[in-house]
Structure 1
Amino acid sequence: MTDIQIVLIQVLQSRAALLVAPMLFFSFLGQPEFYLLIIPLLYWCLDPRLGLRLGLIMGISGGLTIALKIAFHLPRPYWVSPDVQALGSHPSFGLPSGHAMEATTFWGLIAVAARRRWVWVAVTALVFLIGGSRIYLGVHFPTDVIAGVAFGVVILLAFLAFEEPVGRRVAALPLSRQILVAFAGSLALALASVAALAALGDWQIPASWAAGALERSGQPIHPLDLQNVMTAAGFFFGFAAGAAAAWPRRGSMCIVGKGSDHLLRYGFGISVAGAIWFGLGLLVPPDPVIAVYVAQYLRAAAVAAWVSYGAPMVFARANLMGRRV
């Protein structure tokens, strides 16, 4: 099965060499960084409720992606085959494809909210292209992508089933309890990966995988590292806790105004978010590991709290919210 998939990747790469740029573009549309540009735009400028839902589901799917990757601990194509070109490089395990999984949850939730057939068609095509780009770039087997879409569908359906009853119960709690629930949820996301890592026991990454990845991409791998899951968990906590504090004032969060108002608000908010992320990144220690994980968690939580709470409060006080709706 693996040999057949490698042959398929070889055929794609050899007979469609002109597709490198488009495939890199579609791959970017599945990057967490892209979603982190879109979520604030929706939350601050267009549809706060949809932005909130997307922020929560992306924190959940981002955290579970790492747990599943560690649980399956399978290689990427360019790690194991010298015949596959490494047109991209990633240090984590291959299955499931995080791009396919998160594209399914993110764009799928947008399609559910839009309730338009053409949106469903566009989202299906986009998820297909994002997943296909990962195969073409040599960073995923087709089975990785199929698994990513399948897990993404499960997460999306579970989110849709539980968001209303859980949301009502959480909203009825005092703010301090809501923040505690958000923290507990973020710990659950982190512990899922810790449990998957513990289940590996004394399993070791095959030396051939590390050597093959380094030889073909020039980048080392560290698939057992938990920094990404700490980032996802921190983002979930910061976003959920900030939204809990800001949501009672949601009437001041969504506006109908001039395009310049939206542009000013978004440009300022994203600039501050970037400054927080990169500024706190300078404070992340190189070691020990526990300190790195805690710092990464707090860094992501700070950025997410700025997006969900800090920025809307600054906009409101600076009279950048426009006409309230």
Structure 2
Amino acid sequence: MTDIQIALIQALQAQAAWLAAPMQFFSFLGQPEFYLLVIPALYWCWNPRLGLRLGLLMGISGGINEALKVAFHLPRPYWVSPEVRALGSYPSFGLPSAHAQGAVTFWGLIAADARRRWVLIVAVTLVFLVGVSRVALGVHFPIDVIAGWAFGAVILLGFLAFEGPVGRRVAALPLSRQVLVAFAGSLALALVSTSALMALGDWQVPASWAAGALERSGQPIHPFDLRDAVTASGLFFGFAAGAAAEHHRGSMCAVGKVSVRLLRYAFGIAVTGVIWFGIGFLIPQDPVFAACALQYLRAAAAGAWVSFGAPTVFSRLNLADRF
């Protein structure tokens, strides 16, 4: 199976002269940065409810993906095969593909919310192209992508099945309890990845994987680093807790002239960047606990700003109404 998969990657990369640029583009549509740009736009400017659902779902999916990667602890193709060109570089394990899994959850929820045939067709096409791009770039085996699609579908279906009853029960709680539930959920996401790492015991990354990755991409790997899991956990807490406070006060109504919506987005994203990169400068490489704690706080602060801080400022500046 490995030989067949490498042959498929080589076949795709043989077309790299014209395929590389579009594959990089479709790969970006599965990047966390893409979701962090689009979800606030929906939440602030178009459909707050859909933005909230996507924010929560992507936090859950991201946390679960990190745990699954550690649990399977399988290499990326350019780590193990000199025949694969590394047109991208990633330090984490390969299976399941986070891009493929995230594409299914993100675009799948949009299609489920829209309930229109053309939206479903676009969503399926984008999910497929995101997955193919990961293979063409040499950063995933085809089986990684297939597993990502499968896990993404399970997570999406589970979210659609439970968001109603769970959401109603949480909404019936006082605000302090809702914030506590959000914090407990974020800790559960982090605990899943930590448990997967502990289950590996004294297993070590083969030296050949690390050497191959460094030789072919020029970048070292650190697949046991749980900072991405901590980031997903922190974003989930900040976004969920902020949304609970926002709903308690009266949710923002994402209406208004196009110019007003663009002003909201430009200001909100600029402050998000200040929070993200400003706190990022304070995060040390060592010790690991301090780095993870600050990473969690940075992600939580960014999530809370998106779901609560920005709408509050918008209202005070008369950039948004409430209902």
Q: TM-score, normalised by structure 1?
A: 0.98
Q: Please report how far the alpha carbon of residue 148 of structure 1 lies from its aligned counterpart in structure 2 after TM superposition.
A: 0.1
- In the other structure, the counterpart of 1:272 is 271
Aligned length: 323
- Letter matched to residue 24 of structure 1: Q
Cα separation, partners in 2 of 1:324 and 1:241, compared to 1, 3 Å: closer
Query: Against the structure 1 CA distance between its residues 324 and 301, is the aligned structure 2 distance closer, same or farther, given a 3 Å change threshold?
Result: closer
Is the contact made by 1:28 and 1:34 (CA closer than 8 Å) also made in structure 2? yes
1:258 offset after TM fit, Å? 1.0
Bigger mean CA offset, 177-186 vs 280-289 = 280-289
Provide the C-alpha distance between the structure 2 equivalents of 1:255 and 1:107, rounded to a whole number of angstroms.
Answer: 21
- How does 1:9-28 map onto structure 2 within 5 Å? 9-28=9-28
Code of the residue aligned with 1:220 in structure 2: it is P
Q: Is the 8 A contact 1:256 1:324 kept in 2?
A: no
Q: For 1:22-44, what per-residue CA distance to the aligned partner results, in whole angstroms no more than 9, with x for missing partners?
A: 00000001000000000000101
Match of 1:31 in 2: 31
Q: How far off is 1:208 after superposition?
A: 0.2
Structure 2 CA distance for aligned equivalents of residues 290 and 166 of structure 1: 32
Task: Name the aligned partner's letter for residue 141 of structure 2.
Answer: F
The CA deviation string for residues 173-211 of structure 1, in whole angstroms up to 9 with x for no partner, is 111110000000000000000010011011000000000
Q: In the alignment, which residue of structure 1 is the partner of 2:87?
A: 87
How far does the alpha carbon of each residue in 1:222-270 deviate from its partner, in whole angstroms, 9 at most, with x for none? 001000000000000000000000013444x123321100010000000
Q: 1:113 — aligned with what?
A: 113
Q: How far apart are the structure 2 equivalents of 1:114 and 1:248?
A: 26
Q: Where does 1:269-308 land on structure 2 (aligned, <5 Å)?
A: 269-308=268-307
- The more displaced of 166-175 and 11-20 is 11-20
SS in 1 for 2:83: coil
1-structure distance, mates of 2:70, 2:2: 19
One-letter amino acid of the structure 1 residue matched with residue 280 of structure 2: G
Task: Show the counterpart of 1:314.
Answer: 313
CA distance in 2, matches of 1:231, 1:248: 26
What CA distance in whole angstroms lies between the structure 1 residues aligned with 2:50 and 2:143? 31
The residue that corresponds to 2:154 in the other structure is 154
Runs of 4+ in 1 over 6 A off after TM superposition: none
Spell out the pairing of 1:148-297 with structure 2 (5 A cutoff). Answer: 148-251=148-251, 253-297=252-296
2:53: which partner in 1? 53
User: Is 2:255–2:261's contact at 8 Å kept on the other side of the alignment?
Assistant: no
What is the correspondence of 1:73-84 to structure 2 with a 5 Å cutoff? 73-84=73-84
RMSD: 0.9
Question: Does 2:137 correspond to 1:140?
Answer: no
Letter in 1 for 2:94: G
Displacement of 1:16: 4.4
Which consecutive unaligned segments of at least 5 residues does structure 2 have? none
Amino acid at match of 1:315: F
Aligned letter for 2:312? Answer: M
Whole-angstrom CA distance in 1 between matches of 2:290 and 2:33:
24
User: Residue 17 of structure 1: CA displacement?
Assistant: 2.7
Q: Is the 8 A contact 2:43 2:51 kept in 1?
A: yes
The residue that corresponds to 1:123 in the other structure is 123
Amino acid at match of 1:318: L
* Distance of 1:75 and 1:283 partners within structure 2: 31
Offset from partner CA, 1:277-306 (integer Å, 9 cap, x none): 000011112211011111100000000000
**Residue aligned with 1:59, SS:** helix
Distance in 2 (CA, whole Å) between partners of 1:15 and 1:39 is 33
Mapped to 1, the partners of 2:302 and 2:159 lie a distance apart of: 23
1:27–1:130 CA contact under 8 A, matched in 2: yes
Percent identity of the aligned residues?
A: 74
